[in-house]
Structures are given as structure tokens and as C-alpha cells.
Amino acid sequence: MITKLYVDVTNYLNELKNDEQGVTAIEYGLIGVAMAAFLILTFAADGTLITALGNAFGDIAADLDTF
């Protein structure tokens, strides 16, 4: 009886250890969080990137107004 229980528990734990279902979803979630943090840090601060984008779109708008 105890041997069967030991074998069943050991088999269950081995199956659980080898089960990779859901690992990909977790990896994609971590990548998404990292990308979101990078984008927030990039666009939240008034740095040179924001200024350059603002100037570029301003130039485009000015060029479109001349047509």
C-alpha cells in the first residue's frame, strides 16, 4: 500500500516536473512586461527622442501645410 502510494506520488511529481505546458505563455508574458517597461521609460521622460519626434512631426506638418 505504501509502496504504491510512493510510486504514484513519484510518477506524479516526475510528470509535473517534465510538463512544459504553459511555459511559453509565461515567457511571452515576461517579454511583454520587459517591452512595456522599456517603452514607458523611453517615452515617459522628456528626452531627446521625444524632442526629435516632435520636431520631425512638426516639420512634416509644416511641409504638408505648404502644399
**Cα 13 to Cα 51: distance, rounded to the nearest angstrom:** 55
Q: Is residue 33 part of a domain?
A: yes
Parent domain of 32: 23-67
Q: Is residue 14 part of a domain?
A: no
Higher pLDDT, 2 or 20: 2
**Cα 50 to Cα 57: distance, rounded to the nearest angstrom:** 11
The per-residue pLDDT for range 41-50, each reduced to its tens digit, is 877 777 787 7
Q: Is residue 18 part of a domain?
A: no
Contact 49, 42 (CB under 8 A): yes
Q: Indicate the number of domains in the chain.
A: 1
The per-residue pLDDT for range 10-37, each reduced to its tens digit, is 988 888 777 777 777 788 889 999 999 9
Q: Is residue 9 part of a domain?
A: no
Q: Is residue 67 part of a domain?
A: yes
Q: Is residue 63 part of a domain?
A: yes
Q: What percent of the chain has pLDDT over 90?
A: 25
Q: Is residue 13 part of a domain?
A: no
Q: Is residue 49 part of a domain?
A: yes
Name the amino acid, one letter, at 59: D
Specify the pTM: 0.46
